[in-house]
Chains A and B, each alone.
Chain A
Amino acid sequence: MFDVQYVTSYSPHDYTPYRFGPDADGDGVGDDTAYLMMGWNIPKSIIDSLPVSSSYLFLYTMNGLLPLHAGSSLGVNYGILKGGKPRPYSTVPIDQPWYVNEPVDGFRSHAAQILTHEIINTIQGRLEAPPYNCSQLTAAWGLPPAQFESERLLKLSDACYEKLSKKTQ
Protein backbone atom coordinates (compact mmCIF):
# COMPACT_ATOMS: atom_id res chain seq x y z
CA MET A 1 0.00 0.00 0.00
CA PHE A 2 2.37 2.65 -1.24
CA ASP A 3 1.24 6.22 -1.70
CA VAL A 4 3.85 7.77 -4.03
CA GLN A 5 4.17 11.49 -4.69
CA TYR A 6 6.61 13.18 -7.07
CA VAL A 7 8.19 16.59 -6.49
CA THR A 8 10.52 18.38 -8.92
CA SER A 9 13.16 20.88 -7.86
CA TYR A 10 15.66 22.80 -9.96
CA SER A 11 17.36 24.49 -6.99
CA PRO A 12 21.12 23.89 -6.85
CA HIS A 13 22.52 21.62 -4.16
CA ASP A 14 25.95 20.72 -2.78
CA TYR A 15 27.85 17.43 -2.63
CA THR A 16 29.68 15.80 0.26
CA PRO A 17 33.24 14.73 -0.65
CA TYR A 18 34.84 11.52 0.64
CA ARG A 19 38.57 10.92 0.26
CA PHE A 20 39.81 7.45 -0.62
CA GLY A 21 42.66 5.55 -2.29
CA PRO A 22 46.43 5.71 -1.72
CA ASP A 23 47.89 8.62 0.23
CA ALA A 24 50.89 9.52 -1.98
CA ASP A 25 51.11 13.12 -0.78
CA GLY A 26 51.14 12.05 2.89
CA ASP A 27 48.43 14.39 4.09
CA GLY A 28 46.72 11.58 6.04
CA VAL A 29 43.84 11.03 3.67
CA GLY A 30 43.44 9.31 0.31
CA ASP A 31 44.31 11.28 -2.80
CA ASP A 32 41.11 10.49 -4.69
CA THR A 33 37.71 11.98 -4.01
CA ALA A 34 34.21 10.60 -4.51
CA TYR A 35 31.01 12.49 -3.85
CA LEU A 36 27.41 12.01 -2.89
CA MET A 37 24.46 14.23 -2.11
CA MET A 38 22.92 13.84 1.32
CA GLY A 39 20.19 15.68 3.19
CA TRP A 40 22.56 18.32 4.54
CA ASN A 41 23.52 19.20 0.95
CA ILE A 42 19.93 20.09 0.06
CA PRO A 43 18.71 23.67 0.65
CA LYS A 44 16.44 23.95 3.68
CA SER A 45 13.83 25.68 1.55
CA ILE A 46 13.41 22.48 -0.51
CA ILE A 47 13.15 20.29 2.58
CA ASP A 48 10.61 22.67 4.10
CA SER A 49 8.48 22.55 0.94
CA LEU A 50 8.16 18.75 0.90
CA PRO A 51 5.02 17.01 2.12
CA VAL A 52 5.20 14.84 5.24
CA SER A 53 6.02 11.25 4.23
CA SER A 54 7.10 7.95 5.70
CA SER A 55 10.35 8.30 3.75
CA TYR A 56 11.93 10.27 0.92
CA LEU A 57 13.85 9.31 -2.21
CA PHE A 58 16.02 11.97 -3.88
CA LEU A 59 17.10 11.34 -7.49
CA TYR A 60 19.98 13.60 -8.52
CA THR A 61 22.83 14.00 -11.00
CA MET A 62 26.58 13.87 -10.37
CA ASN A 63 27.43 16.23 -13.25
CA GLY A 64 30.70 14.45 -13.96
CA LEU A 65 31.79 13.93 -10.35
CA LEU A 66 32.79 10.45 -9.21
CA PRO A 67 29.93 8.85 -7.21
CA LEU A 68 30.70 7.24 -3.85
CA HIS A 69 27.72 4.84 -3.99
CA ALA A 70 25.02 3.63 -6.37
CA GLY A 71 22.64 4.78 -3.64
CA SER A 72 22.76 5.88 -0.02
CA SER A 73 20.20 5.70 2.78
CA LEU A 74 20.00 7.05 6.29
CA GLY A 75 17.65 6.00 9.08
CA VAL A 76 15.79 8.17 11.53
CA ASN A 77 18.91 8.98 13.60
CA TYR A 78 20.14 11.13 10.71
CA GLY A 79 16.77 11.61 9.05
CA ILE A 80 15.02 14.62 7.60
CA LEU A 81 12.90 16.43 10.16
CA LYS A 82 9.35 16.62 8.81
CA GLY A 83 6.06 16.77 10.69
CA GLY A 84 7.94 16.90 13.98
CA LYS A 85 9.74 13.59 13.42
CA PRO A 86 12.96 12.53 11.72
CA ARG A 87 12.21 10.64 8.47
CA PRO A 88 14.54 8.17 6.73
CA TYR A 89 15.63 8.99 3.20
CA SER A 90 17.67 7.76 0.25
CA THR A 91 19.68 9.56 -2.41
CA VAL A 92 20.44 7.95 -5.78
CA PRO A 93 22.57 9.43 -8.59
CA ILE A 94 20.85 8.72 -11.91
CA ASP A 95 23.48 9.80 -14.47
CA GLN A 96 25.53 6.62 -14.02
CA PRO A 97 26.05 3.71 -16.44
CA TRP A 98 24.38 1.20 -14.08
CA TYR A 99 21.25 3.30 -13.55
CA VAL A 100 19.45 2.03 -16.66
CA ASN A 101 16.23 0.22 -17.49
CA GLU A 102 18.02 -2.95 -18.54
CA PRO A 103 17.59 -6.37 -16.89
CA VAL A 104 19.66 -7.51 -13.97
CA ASP A 105 19.11 -10.75 -12.01
CA GLY A 106 15.39 -10.92 -11.27
CA PHE A 107 14.62 -7.31 -12.21
CA ARG A 108 13.58 -5.90 -15.59
CA SER A 109 15.45 -2.71 -14.73
CA HIS A 110 18.81 -2.35 -13.01
CA ALA A 111 17.64 1.09 -11.86
CA ALA A 112 14.62 -0.56 -10.25
CA GLN A 113 16.89 -2.98 -8.38
CA ILE A 114 18.86 -0.05 -6.97
CA LEU A 115 15.69 1.78 -5.94
CA THR A 116 14.20 -1.37 -4.40
CA HIS A 117 17.31 -1.81 -2.27
CA GLU A 118 17.32 1.80 -1.10
CA ILE A 119 13.56 1.94 -0.41
CA ILE A 120 13.82 -1.24 1.68
CA ASN A 121 16.74 0.39 3.49
CA THR A 122 14.50 3.31 4.44
CA ILE A 123 11.72 0.92 5.48
CA GLN A 124 14.23 -0.75 7.77
CA GLY A 125 15.47 2.67 8.92
CA ARG A 126 12.01 3.53 10.14
CA LEU A 127 10.98 0.14 11.53
CA GLU A 128 14.13 -0.59 13.53
CA ALA A 129 13.58 2.60 15.55
CA PRO A 130 10.99 3.21 18.30
CA PRO A 131 8.06 2.82 18.54
CA TYR A 132 8.31 -0.16 16.16
CA ASN A 133 11.60 -1.73 17.27
CA CYS A 134 11.33 -4.40 14.55
CA SER A 135 14.21 -6.68 13.71
CA GLN A 136 16.60 -5.72 10.91
CA LEU A 137 15.71 -6.61 7.33
CA THR A 138 18.78 -8.70 6.64
CA ALA A 139 19.55 -11.47 4.15
CA ALA A 140 22.52 -13.65 3.32
CA TRP A 141 25.20 -11.86 1.29
CA GLY A 142 25.85 -13.27 -2.14
CA LEU A 143 22.25 -14.05 -3.05
CA PRO A 144 20.99 -12.82 -6.44
CA PRO A 145 19.48 -9.32 -6.02
CA ALA A 146 15.80 -10.29 -6.31
CA GLN A 147 16.17 -13.16 -3.85
CA PHE A 148 18.23 -10.96 -1.52
CA GLU A 149 15.56 -8.27 -1.35
CA SER A 150 12.76 -10.86 -1.06
CA GLU A 151 14.46 -12.44 1.94
CA ARG A 152 14.83 -9.05 3.58
CA LEU A 153 11.09 -8.38 3.27
CA LEU A 154 10.31 -11.81 4.72
CA LYS A 155 11.91 -10.54 7.96
CA LEU A 156 8.87 -8.31 8.51
CA SER A 157 7.24 -10.21 11.36
CA ASP A 158 3.53 -10.46 12.15
CA ALA A 159 4.15 -8.34 15.24
CA CYS A 160 5.79 -5.66 13.11
CA TYR A 161 2.88 -5.61 10.64
CA GLU A 162 0.53 -5.29 13.59
CA LYS A 163 2.39 -2.23 14.91
CA LEU A 164 2.50 -0.71 11.44
CA SER A 165 -1.22 -1.10 10.91
CA LYS A 166 -1.82 1.15 13.92
CA LYS A 167 0.38 3.98 12.63
CA THR A 168 0.49 5.37 9.12
CA GLN A 169 3.01 8.17 9.52
Chain B
Amino acid sequence: MVTRIRIIAILFFVVSISLIRPSESQAQGFVVLQAESMPFKDSGQPGNNGASWAIDENGSITQPVMLTKGKYRLHVVARGTSVGDAWPEMQLKIDGIAVGPKVVVDSTDWSTYSVEEQLANGAASVSVELTNAYFDQETNRYRSLEVDRVTIENLSNHKKSLPWRLTIVLMGPVDPIQHAEIPVEEAISFIETRT
Protein backbone atom coordinates (compact mmCIF):
# COMPACT_ATOMS: atom_id res chain seq x y z
CA MET B 1 0.00 0.00 0.00
CA VAL B 2 2.77 2.34 0.97
CA THR B 3 4.67 1.41 -2.21
CA ARG B 4 1.60 2.13 -4.37
CA ILE B 5 1.18 5.56 -2.81
CA ARG B 6 4.84 6.33 -3.47
CA ILE B 7 4.52 5.26 -7.11
CA ILE B 8 1.44 7.45 -7.52
CA ALA B 9 3.28 10.34 -5.87
CA ILE B 10 6.26 9.95 -8.21
CA LEU B 11 3.97 9.76 -11.24
CA PHE B 12 2.16 12.90 -10.08
CA PHE B 13 5.51 14.70 -9.72
CA VAL B 14 6.57 13.68 -13.23
CA VAL B 15 3.24 14.83 -14.68
CA SER B 16 3.55 18.13 -12.79
CA ILE B 17 7.00 18.79 -14.26
CA SER B 18 5.76 18.07 -17.78
CA LEU B 19 2.80 20.40 -17.29
CA ILE B 20 4.90 23.38 -16.20
CA ARG B 21 7.36 22.86 -19.09
CA PRO B 22 4.91 22.11 -21.89
CA SER B 23 6.61 23.47 -24.94
CA GLU B 24 10.35 23.38 -24.83
CA SER B 25 11.82 22.27 -28.11
CA GLN B 26 15.25 20.92 -28.90
CA ALA B 27 16.82 23.06 -31.64
CA GLN B 28 19.14 20.49 -33.21
CA GLY B 29 18.71 21.03 -36.94
CA PHE B 30 15.49 22.71 -37.92
CA VAL B 31 12.86 23.51 -35.32
CA VAL B 32 9.56 24.98 -36.45
CA LEU B 33 7.49 26.95 -33.95
CA GLN B 34 3.93 27.39 -35.16
CA ALA B 35 2.75 30.83 -34.05
CA GLU B 36 -0.74 29.75 -33.06
CA SER B 37 0.75 27.07 -30.79
CA MET B 38 3.28 29.27 -29.01
CA PRO B 39 2.40 29.12 -25.31
CA PHE B 40 2.83 32.78 -24.33
CA LYS B 41 0.86 35.47 -26.14
CA ASP B 42 0.43 39.06 -24.96
CA SER B 43 -2.13 40.11 -27.51
CA GLY B 44 -4.01 39.16 -30.64
CA GLN B 45 -6.09 36.28 -31.83
CA PRO B 46 -5.87 33.32 -34.19
CA GLY B 47 -5.70 34.21 -37.87
CA ASN B 48 -5.89 32.40 -41.19
CA ASN B 49 -8.51 29.94 -39.94
CA GLY B 50 -6.47 29.15 -36.86
CA ALA B 51 -3.20 28.45 -38.72
CA SER B 52 -1.45 31.68 -37.64
CA TRP B 53 -1.53 34.30 -34.91
CA ALA B 54 -2.37 37.96 -35.51
CA ILE B 55 -0.79 40.38 -33.02
CA ASP B 56 -2.75 43.62 -32.98
CA GLU B 57 -1.55 45.48 -29.90
CA ASN B 58 2.02 46.09 -28.75
CA GLY B 59 2.97 42.68 -27.50
CA SER B 60 4.56 39.44 -28.47
CA ILE B 61 4.24 35.70 -28.87
CA THR B 62 6.89 33.60 -27.14
CA GLN B 63 8.08 30.03 -26.91
CA PRO B 64 10.93 28.55 -24.85
CA VAL B 65 13.39 26.32 -26.67
CA MET B 66 16.51 24.41 -25.70
CA LEU B 67 19.57 25.39 -27.70
CA THR B 68 23.04 24.02 -28.14
CA LYS B 69 25.75 26.66 -28.45
CA GLY B 70 26.28 27.70 -32.04
CA LYS B 71 25.33 29.90 -34.93
CA TYR B 72 21.64 29.98 -35.88
CA ARG B 73 19.53 31.44 -38.64
CA LEU B 74 16.03 32.37 -37.53
CA HIS B 75 13.28 32.73 -40.11
CA VAL B 76 9.92 34.35 -39.42
CA VAL B 77 7.08 33.88 -41.90
CA ALA B 78 4.76 36.84 -41.47
CA ARG B 79 2.45 39.28 -43.20
CA GLY B 80 1.01 42.61 -42.22
CA THR B 81 -1.95 44.94 -42.42
CA SER B 82 -1.24 48.60 -43.13
CA VAL B 83 -3.37 50.92 -41.00
CA GLY B 84 -2.79 54.62 -40.32
CA ASP B 85 -0.41 54.91 -43.28
CA ALA B 86 2.09 52.48 -41.77
CA TRP B 87 2.89 48.81 -41.88
CA PRO B 88 3.56 46.78 -38.73
CA GLU B 89 7.13 46.68 -37.39
CA MET B 90 8.37 43.32 -36.20
CA GLN B 91 11.19 42.66 -33.72
CA LEU B 92 12.59 39.20 -33.09
CA LYS B 93 13.96 38.69 -29.57
CA ILE B 94 15.85 36.02 -27.68
CA ASP B 95 15.38 36.19 -23.92
CA GLY B 96 13.97 39.69 -24.32
CA ILE B 97 16.99 40.99 -26.24
CA ALA B 98 16.59 42.19 -29.82
CA VAL B 99 18.08 39.95 -32.49
CA GLY B 100 18.71 41.84 -35.71
CA PRO B 101 17.02 45.12 -36.64
CA LYS B 102 13.31 45.86 -36.58
CA VAL B 103 11.67 44.80 -39.82
CA VAL B 104 8.78 46.52 -41.55
CA VAL B 105 6.39 43.80 -42.65
CA ASP B 106 5.09 45.64 -45.67
CA SER B 107 3.10 43.01 -47.48
CA THR B 108 -0.24 41.34 -47.12
CA ASP B 109 1.35 38.22 -48.66
CA TRP B 110 3.35 35.79 -46.56
CA SER B 111 7.06 36.65 -46.62
CA THR B 112 10.09 35.16 -44.87
CA TYR B 113 12.33 37.42 -42.77
CA SER B 114 15.68 35.96 -41.65
CA VAL B 115 18.45 36.88 -39.26
CA GLU B 116 21.61 35.09 -38.09
CA GLU B 117 22.80 35.07 -34.51
CA GLN B 118 25.32 33.27 -32.32
CA LEU B 119 23.40 31.72 -29.42
CA ALA B 120 24.47 30.19 -26.14
CA ASN B 121 23.80 26.80 -24.60
CA GLY B 122 20.61 26.21 -22.62
CA ALA B 123 17.02 27.37 -22.43
CA ALA B 124 16.05 30.49 -24.37
CA SER B 125 12.79 32.28 -25.07
CA VAL B 126 12.12 33.11 -28.72
CA SER B 127 9.70 36.01 -29.18
CA VAL B 128 8.16 37.84 -32.11
CA GLU B 129 7.00 41.31 -31.13
CA LEU B 130 4.82 43.98 -32.73
CA THR B 131 6.33 47.35 -31.80
CA ASN B 132 4.11 49.95 -33.52
CA ALA B 133 0.55 48.89 -32.82
CA TYR B 134 -2.21 51.24 -33.91
CA PHE B 135 -6.00 51.22 -33.86
CA ASP B 136 -7.89 53.37 -36.34
CA GLN B 137 -11.14 54.36 -34.66
CA GLU B 138 -12.71 55.58 -37.89
CA THR B 139 -12.30 52.30 -39.71
CA ASN B 140 -12.31 50.19 -36.55
CA ARG B 141 -9.19 48.37 -37.76
CA TYR B 142 -5.96 47.30 -36.08
CA ARG B 143 -2.49 47.48 -37.66
CA SER B 144 -1.90 43.78 -37.45
CA LEU B 145 1.22 41.61 -37.55
CA GLU B 146 0.24 38.10 -38.50
CA VAL B 147 2.82 35.39 -37.86
CA ASP B 148 2.64 31.94 -39.40
CA ARG B 149 5.77 30.33 -37.94
CA VAL B 150 9.32 30.78 -36.69
CA THR B 151 11.95 28.37 -37.96
CA ILE B 152 15.21 27.98 -36.05
CA GLU B 153 18.02 26.63 -38.21
CA ASN B 154 21.18 25.44 -36.50
CA LEU B 155 23.99 26.48 -38.83
CA SER B 156 26.61 24.82 -36.64
CA ASN B 157 25.59 21.52 -38.18
CA HIS B 158 26.92 22.76 -41.49
CA LYS B 159 30.45 21.73 -42.46
CA LYS B 160 32.22 25.03 -41.91
CA SER B 161 35.69 25.80 -40.77
CA LEU B 162 38.18 28.61 -40.95
CA PRO B 163 41.57 26.94 -41.30
CA TRP B 164 44.08 29.56 -40.21
CA ARG B 165 47.74 29.50 -39.34
CA LEU B 166 48.70 32.51 -37.25
CA THR B 167 52.26 33.38 -36.28
CA ILE B 168 52.60 35.79 -33.37
CA VAL B 169 55.92 37.60 -33.12
CA LEU B 170 56.93 39.07 -29.76
CA MET B 171 59.23 41.98 -30.59
CA GLY B 172 61.45 42.83 -27.63
CA PRO B 173 60.30 43.03 -24.00
CA VAL B 174 56.80 41.59 -24.44
CA ASP B 175 55.43 39.54 -21.52
CA PRO B 176 54.61 36.17 -23.11
CA ILE B 177 51.76 35.50 -20.68
CA GLN B 178 50.11 38.86 -19.89
CA HIS B 179 50.67 40.47 -23.29
CA ALA B 180 50.39 37.41 -25.49
CA GLU B 181 48.93 34.13 -24.25
CA ILE B 182 46.03 35.49 -22.14
CA PRO B 183 44.58 37.93 -24.69
CA VAL B 184 45.44 35.74 -27.69
CA GLU B 185 43.62 32.76 -26.15
CA GLU B 186 40.46 34.82 -25.62
CA ALA B 187 40.66 36.37 -29.09
CA ILE B 188 41.10 33.00 -30.82
CA SER B 189 38.30 31.46 -28.73
CA PHE B 190 36.02 34.37 -29.67
CA ILE B 191 36.68 33.85 -33.38
CA GLU B 192 36.55 30.04 -33.32
CA THR B 193 33.19 29.91 -31.57
CA ARG B 194 31.74 32.16 -34.27
CA THR B 195 33.19 30.50 -37.35
| Residues of B contacting A29 in the complex (Cβ-Cβ under 8 angstroms) | none
Q: A94-B179, A164-B163 are in contact. Are A46 and B187 (CB under 8 A)?
A: no
* Complex interface bits, B145-175 against A, C-beta within 8 A gives 1, otherwise 0: 0000000000000111111111111111111
Q: Count residues on chain B whose CB falls below 8 Å from chain A CBs.
A: 37
Partner of A156, one of B179, B183, B195: B195
Q: Count residues on chain A whose CB falls below 8 Å from chain B CBs.
A: 54
A55 touches B166 (CB 8 A): yes
Partner of B194, one of A7, A56, A115, A154: A154
* Complex interface bits, B117-157 against A, C-beta within 8 A gives 1, otherwise 0: 01000000000000000000000000000000000000000
Q: Is the interface of B mostly helix, strand, loop or mixed?
A: mixed
| Residues of B contacting A169 in the complex (Cβ-Cβ under 8 angstroms) | 165
* Complex interface bits, A62-92 against B, C-beta within 8 A gives 1, otherwise 0: 0000000000000000000000000000000
A115 touches B164 (CB 8 A): no
Q: Given the complex of chains A and B, what is the CA–CA distance between A111 and B174 in angstroms?
A: 13
Q: A61-B172, A115-B183 are in contact. Are A120 and B191 (CB under 8 A)?
A: yes
Q: Across chains A and B, which 10 residue pairs bring their CB atoms closest together, nearest first? A: A112-B186, A111-B183, A112-B183, A60-B171, A115-B187, A53-B167, A116-B187, A153-B194, A161-B160, A94-B179
Residue numbers of A with Cβ under 8 A of B are: 1-11, 13, 37, 42, 46, 50-61, 94, 99, 101, 107-109, 111-116, 119-120, 123, 146, 149-150, 153-154, 156, 158, 161, 164-165, 168-169
Residue numbers of B with Cβ under 8 A of A are: 71, 116, 118, 158-176, 178-180, 182-188, 190-192, 194-195
Taking A6-B180, A37-B171 as known contacts, 13 extra A-B pairs with beta carbons closer than 8 A to each other, sorted by chain A number, are A2-B164, A3-B164, A4-B166, A4-B184, A13-B171, A13-B172, A54-B165, A61-B173, A112-B184, A112-B185, A119-B191, A149-B194, A154-B116
